[in-house]
Amino acid sequence: MADGCSRGEKADEARRDSSAGAVGDVLEFAAETVDAAGGRQNPPWQILIVDDDHEVHAITRVVLGEMTFEERPVRFLSAYTARQARSLLAENPGIAAILLDVVMETDDAGLKLVRHIREEMGNRQIRIILRTGQPGQAPERQVIAAYDINDYKAKSELTAQKLYTATVAALRSYQHITAIERGRQGLERVMEAAVHLAGLRSRSQFLAGLVGRASALLTNAATALLCGAGEGGGVTILAEAGIPADLPADLPAEAAADIAAALDDGQARWGARHGVAVLRGRDTAPLALCLLGGPFAEDDRPLLELLCTKAAVGLDNLRLYERLNEAQVATVHALGKLAEYKDEVTGDHVKRLGRWATAIARELHARGDFADELDDWFCDTIGLASVLHDVGKVGIPDAILRKPGRLDEAEMTVMRDHASIGGSILRDACGGDRRGYLSMGAEIAESHHERFDGSGYPRGLAGDAIPLAGRVVAVADVFDALLHCRPYKKAWDMVEVLDLLRTESGRHFDPRVVDAFLAVLTREGAGV
Domains of the chain: 45-180 (3.40.50.2300), 200-244+251-317 (3.30.450.40), 342-526 (1.10.3210.10)
Q: Please confirm whether the linkage preceding 286 is cis (ω < 30° from 0).
A: no
Q: Which residues pair with 95 in a beta bridge?
A: 46
Per-position DSSP letters for 386-453, written without gaps between them: GGGTTGGGGGS-HHHHT-SS---HHHHHHHHHHHHHHHHHHHHHHTT-SSSHHHHHHHHHHHTT--TT
Catalytic residue among 162, 393, 489, 490: 393
| Eight-class DSSP state of 116 | I
pLDDT of 294 reads: 80
- Which has the higher per-residue pLDDT, 312 or 8? 312
pLDDT exceeds 60 at position 187? yes
Q: How far apart are CA 519 and CA 367, in angstroms?
A: 11
| For residues 424-449, average pLDDT | 88
| Eight-class DSSP state of 104 | S
Q: How far apart are CA 80 and CA 455, in angstroms?
A: 84
- Which has the higher per-residue pLDDT, 218 or 478? 478
| Eight-class DSSP state of 17 | H
pLDDT of 244 reads: 63
Using a 10 angstrom Cβ sphere, with 0-12 exposed, 13-18 middle and 19 or more buried, the burial of residue 135 is middle
| For residues 485-491, average pLDDT | 74
pLDDT of 9 reads: 39
Q: Which tens digits make up the pLDDT trace of 252-308?
A: 888 989 999 999 999 999 998 899 999 998 878 899 999 998 888 888 899 999 999
Q: Which tens digits make up the pLDDT trace of 6-47?
A: 333 333 433 433 333 333 333 333 334 444 444 456 789 999
Nearest by Cα to 453 from 471, 469, 440: 471
pLDDT of 10 reads: 35
* Residue 310 designated active-site: no
Q: How far apart are CA 219 and CA 178, in angstroms?
A: 13
Q: Sign of dihedral through CA atoms 424, 430, 435, 441?
A: negative
Specify the range with the lowest mean pLDDT, choosing from 89-98, 210-219, 497-506: 210-219
- Which has the higher per-residue pLDDT, 310 or 333? 310
